Amino acid sequence: MNALPGHVTGIREWRHGFNVTPDAEAWDYGLFASFDDEQALFSYFEHPAHLAVLAQWNEVAELRFVDLAPPKFE
């Protein structure tokens, strides 16, 4: 996980770790990532380094994600 930003261009911010709250409804682990643009996000999805990490996670976890558009300031 820590190495992905060094392999995938376009990752702007990358934070991940275990949940620190005791809430039973909370997820155990989370990832926050931001990308230079939408093209960088979609390139990340198919990048071999990402796919390798994803395969490892799929063996031990049920994954969920959401992709948000960048905020528009007016």
| Host H or E run for residue 34 | strand 29-35
Query: pLDDT value at position 2?
Result: 95
Domains of the chain by residue range: 4-60
Q: Does the structure show a pLDDT above 80 at 74? A: no
Query: pLDDT value at position 53?
Result: 96
Query: pLDDT value at position 69?
Result: 84
Pairing of strands 11-18, 29-35: antiparallel
- Is 37:60 a contact under the CB 8 Å cutoff? no
- pTM for the model: 0.83
Report the interhelical angle of 38-46 vs 48-60 (nearest 10°): 60
Domain 4-60 has CATH 3.30.70.100: yes
| Host H or E run for residue 72 | none
Query: pLDDT value at position 4?
Result: 96
Q: What is the pLDDT of residues 21-70, one digit of tens each?
A: 999 999 999 999 999 999 999 999 999 999 999 999 999 999 999 998 87
